[in-house]
Chain A
Amino acid sequence: MANRTIAPKIIDPVEFDLHLKPYEKKTLDNGIEVYAIDAGAEEVLQIEWVFFAGNWYEQQNMIAATTNFLLKNGTASKSAFQISEHFEYYGAYLNRGCYNETSTITLHCLNKHIEELLPVVQELITDATFPEDELKLYKQNNKQRLSVNLKKCDFVANRHIDEYLFGIDHPYGKYSSAEAYDAVESDQLKAFYDQFYRHGKCILFVAGKIPANLFTQLNKYFGSLPLNNKTLPEIAHPIVQSSNIGSPIRLSNDPDGVQGAVRMARPFPNRHHPDFLNVQVLNTLFGGFFGSRLMNNIREDKGYTYGIHSYLQNHIHSSAWMITTEAGKDVCDATVKEVYKEMKKLREKPVDDEELLLVKNFMMGSILGDLDGPFHIIGRWKNIILNNLDESYFYNSIGAIKSITPAEIQALANKYLQPKDFYELVVV
């Protein structure tokens, strides 16, 4: 009979030797780099075209996002409907996304249909037309969606906290508005498209069970396009932080609101900073997983919220350390107080070995699980490559988890978890 009072023996995951499966790299005739992970049992593919066409490069708000969104809403030979129908007929998912530095086109499909799909992706990159009626509809529907989102305290809080951290004119701090949508003109989209897509800089990430002729196919459809010929413009965006750091900010958005969105954040350097990897461990302990200090105190002990999280923002140039939760209207201030208390505890008392081992084991197990499957592996590589890092970043992050000590964690808490360095916002 099993003795239920004694935990079964485990192997501490912190002892694991983790490896990131290396990519295969090829270059198309025009210099486009293709990073590929060939793995998995299903006959499926994910291909991602990453363009340096994020809002970093726009001269007016919403141009990058609108251009990206309307890529599949009309080409010289196909209507928006025909484009959607083509991808959907082959059971493929064609998504696009606009981020700060980059924007993407992502194709998920069954291998057997790839040859029907690549020519149409090519068309989106060479022949998108940005029809006036599509733009008009896009503006109308996005303004409507925005009006709904502006009723939500979490949406409003996210906008403000980014603005405090980076400034309203910075790509990381700016946000949409009805006026910004109204101001978008199709000529601006066409010009942006011509510079940053048609003649832009592109990198390809491919994952799945890769067919033998895929590279030949990619070269056929994308290797002779006029991409990667021009150097990207060097654009500097100075960060303008708001002066209300270290003092409480309370905003009222919905008089009937029953919860408040709490956001606490401080500026933080990017992944190249020597503290970044060690702070990831401190962050996990603080608020980065279900067993974190914040979750244990504010959800599991006080019941103030359904969930509370902290994380480092995923930005290339400059990051921020963010704490977010939605808490009952009456307990928002108490929640903020508890967050500061948890910071203080981390500054004043070294974490005990048992708790630190749990965090380390959890992080290692989580990375091991996340290395499972081609899409996850290419995701890690994409992050490394777009941040101008190399595989040592992965192995250094494992090293940081394995070797960090309670004293180092306490020192980092003293350096970074100081209330005076945090914006403190509650939106009800």
Chain B
Amino acid sequence: MIQFDRFSLANGLRVLVHEDHSTPMAVVNVLYDVGAKDESESKTGFAHLFEHLMFGGSVNVPSYDDPLQLAGGENNAFTTNDLTNYYCQLPAQNIETAFWLESDRMLSLAFSKKSLEVQRKVVCEEFKEHYINKPYGDVWFKMRELAYKVHPYKWQTIGKELSHIENAKIEDVKNFFFKHYRPSNAILVVAGDVTTAQVKELTEKWFGDIPAGEKYERNLPQEPKQTEPRRLEVKANVPLDAFYKCWHVGSRLDSTYYAMDLITEILGGGGSSRLYQALVKEKKLFSNIDCYHFGSTDAGLLAIEGKLVKGVKLEDAEKAVEEELTKIKNEKVSESELEKVKNKTESAIAFEDMSVMNRASSIAMYELLGDAQLMNTELSKYQQVTVAEIQKLSNEIFDENNSNTLYYYAN
């Protein structure tokens, strides 16, 4: 059970405090309710580029990093299709430094041209390092475009193409900031060796005078139900053929989320999972195979991917995957197999909760979903999943008309 207190400021900033006096550290986590899904299709990759610019100096403080490091702190940030999260950890005595830095960059950035110029290049190198200069690095650009026709999940967080980042203008940066980086669009979580009273006082002092701004109302086109299979083939300079297939699944708050998560564990989690045992160990068709889902806020994707053993045909590999899916659709999983994946989930949650930094970011993410208290009911929701639900949901998800298949051929 993770305990926390909650209050909000007049400007709309939501604040949650998680006291843990066993650590000498404090964590300040600021989550902004903006991700790649809020970009326009002609300016993709912007939410992530913007994350970099948040370290380029704010209106009253020329450097974010230097004063934090001087106070003994460390920080980082990440952007997803759904959200942007900034977190720092520092000795609890110096926590006011984090309030000063985070509040000033929420008040306003410096909008430095030099920072934009440099970070455009840095992000282009990040793009190259992870998506161009890596074998199979382009797969999810293609798969997302295949699976999503309408919803902005059709592009990756890094963006559709380098040119979108290269063309970013300082005007775009300003507009984005005042549209999305307002207190009413943010969740502040403070955790560690702090008290709620202290956090209240510091939050009022540093965040209280930031103008509320205009509330951003998100209105995204939802993906219509897919009604026929989609297939794509590519050839690239890679050593092995690879198989990718994905299916649409419900949103993060859908009641089927827990059964769906467990299905991916049954099929692809670890050395005793079904796909690994049948297709890598017994039939020796794949040299590796994984099954996972994206955990996205809006309706997401469940994916199976693997590299083929040399000489195996993609058609045969796909057939063998389908046989495993037929099995989970036609036959109930055993109670003990379901128990196994529930136990794995229980222990994964316990290990995740060990770090105060993880607890702080979980609180923020669950609050974004609607209520931080949700994190304390997760385990019981997993425990309620039945073998009948696993079977029913498998039949809904693994419908060929709901599928997107990519054959990735080695040149």
Contact = CB atoms under 8 A, between A and B. Distances in A.
Interface residues of A, number: 74
A364 interface: yes
Contact of A304 (B96, B121, B345, B346): B121
A92 interface: yes
Given A258-B128, A326-B125, A368-B91, A85 B70 contact: no
A91 B121 contact: no
B351 A108 contact: yes
A188 B179 CA distance: 65
Contact of B309 (A72, A140, A148, A289): A140
A359 B66 CA distance: 10
Q: Which 4 pairs across A and B sit closest by C-beta, in order of nearness?
A: A365-B72, A303-B121, A84-B271, A91-B347
A137 B276 CA distance: 12
Contact of A305 (B96, B125, B345): B125
Contact of A145 (B74, B287, B355): B287
Interface stretch (A1-9, A220-228, A391-399): A1-9
Counting chain A CB atoms within 10 Å of each CB, the highest count among B90, B136, B309, B355 belongs to B90
Given A109-B347, A148-B239, 9 more contacts: A4-B104, A13-B94, A16-B72, A83-B271, A144-B240, A151-B238, A259-B132, A300-B118, A305-B122
Given A2-B100, A81-B271, A369-B89, A259 B133 contact: yes
B344 interface: yes
Contacts of B346: 91, 110
Contact of B270 (A16, A88, A153): A88
A89 B342 CA distance: 9
Interface of A: 1-2, 4-5, 7-11, 13, 16, 40-44, 72, 80-81, 83-85, 88-93, 108-110, 137, 140-141, 144-145, 147-148, 150-153, 254, 256-259, 289-291, 299-306, 326-328, 357-359, 361-362, 364-366, 368-369, 372-373, 375
Contacts of A93: 347
Interface in B261-291: 269-272, 277, 280-281, 284, 287-288
A375 B345 CA distance: 20
B125 A368 contact: no
A266 to B, nearest CB: 25
Given A11-B91, A304-B121, A4 B107 contact: yes
Contact of A365 (B71, B271, B343, B345): B71
A326 B122 contact: no
Contact of A326 (B117, B133, B206, B237): B133
Contact of A144 (B22, B66, B307): B307
Contacts of B339: 89
B134 interface: yes
Contacts of B66: 291, 358
A141 to B, nearest CB: 4
A7 B67 contact: yes
Contact of A328 (B107, B128, B237, B270): B128
B313 interface: no
B197 interface: no
A277 B175 CA distance: 48
Contact of B340 (A89, A259, A291, A369): A89
A20 to B, nearest CB: 13
20 contacts: A2-B209, A9-B96, A11-B91, A13-B94, A16-B91, A85-B340, A110-B347, A144-B239, A153-B133, A259-B133, A303-B125, A357-B70, A361-B69, A361-B71, A362-B69, A362-B70, A362-B73, A365-B71, A368-B25, A369-B25
Contacts of B93: 10-11
A13 B71 contact: yes
A306 B307 contact: no
B119 interface: yes
B126 interface: yes
Interface string B1-45: 000000000000000000000111100000000000000000000
Contact of B70 (A148, A299, A301, A361): A361
A289 B69 contact: yes
